[in-house]
């Protein structure tokens, strides 16, 4: 019973970190998700002058790695945890003051950005918490430029099931489900690569290109 209660508490914190435990968890996740974030970075194919959005930036590990390339014109983060935003405001205060980084409190289903605002979008370990996957992908397509790239890094449905997080609100997806939903949202060139880490075992990075049509 105690284990189940803690697992439910942890699952909630992973989706929406808050309070003292959430702040500790955010810092832990920077290390825990490093392999997934690094593979995402490698496959973003950043170019000089890119405008980059990360959805669900947590402790800011990937934002920091992107900033260290000195390629993007601006890096924008959208996050639903106010505690995560406060941590990263301190972490990136110099870049924020220089207008190199922006942080927004936002829901992925209603991104507060204009159409075609970004060249690249990335998100790591977030899709399990989205109530409407197709709506998020439609929003991503809306704010991407023509031929803009979306990259999603996520654990396998089997891994989430073994961790018993599915019992506490996590939504697991098969790769085919993710790819199909991206195509329905208007993306093309949808491809998936597999990664491995000691913590996450097998995980996936799916990328797709925004296509605005004729």
Could you tell me whether strands 201-210 and 144-155 are parallel, antiparallel, or unpaired per DSSP bridges?
A: antiparallel
The domain containing residue 6 runs over which residues? 2-210
What's the structural domain count of the chain? 1
- pLDDT at site 120: 98
156: how many CB neighbours lie within 10 A of its CB? 18
pTM summary value: 0.85
Spans in the chain with pLDDT lower than 50: 2-3, 5-11, 13, 15, 20, 22, 167
* Cβ burial, residue 90 (10 Å; 0-12/13-18/19+): exposed
- pLDDT at site 3: 46
How far apart CA 140 and CA 148 sit, in angstroms, is 10
Contact 86, 26 (CB under 8 A): no
Sign of CA dihedral 195, 164, 181, 177: positive
- pLDDT at site 98: 96
- pLDDT at site 102: 97
R_g (Cα) of the chain, nearest Å = 16
- pLDDT at site 167: 47
- pLDDT at site 65: 95
- pLDDT at site 10: 46
Instruction: Copy the structure tokens of residue 17.
Output: 């970190």
- pLDDT at site 33: 77
CATH number of the domain encompassing residue 64: 3.40.50.150
How far apart CA 149 and CA 119 sit, in angstroms, is 6
- pLDDT at site 171: 86
């Amino acid at each position: 019973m105690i284990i189940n209660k803690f697992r439910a508490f942890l699952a909630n914190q992973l989706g929406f970190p808050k309070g003292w435990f959430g702040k500790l968890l955010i810092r832990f996740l920077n290390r825990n998700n490093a392999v997934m974030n690094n593979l995402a970075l490698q496959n973003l194919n950043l170019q000089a002058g890119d405008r980059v959005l990360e959805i669900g930036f947590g402790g800011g590990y990937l934002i920091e790695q992107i900033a260290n390339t000195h390629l993007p014109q601006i890096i924008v983060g959208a996050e639903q945890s106010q505690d995560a935003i406060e941590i990263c405001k301190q972490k990136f205060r110099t870049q924020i003051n220089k207008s190199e980084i922006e942080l927004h409190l936002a829901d992925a289903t209603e991104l507060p950005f204009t159409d075609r605002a970004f060249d690249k979008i990335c998100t790591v370990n977030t899709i399990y918490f989205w109530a409407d996957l197709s709506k998020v992908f439609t929003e991503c397509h809306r704010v991407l430029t023509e031929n803009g790239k979306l990259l999603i890094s996520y654990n396998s449905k089997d891994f989430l099931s073994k961790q018993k997080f599915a019992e506490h609100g996590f939504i697991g997806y098969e790769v085919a489900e993710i790819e199909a939903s991206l195509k329905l949202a208007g993306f093309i060139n949808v491809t998936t690569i597999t990664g491995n880490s000691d913590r996450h075992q097998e995980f996936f990075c799916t990328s797709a290109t925004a296509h605005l049509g004729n």
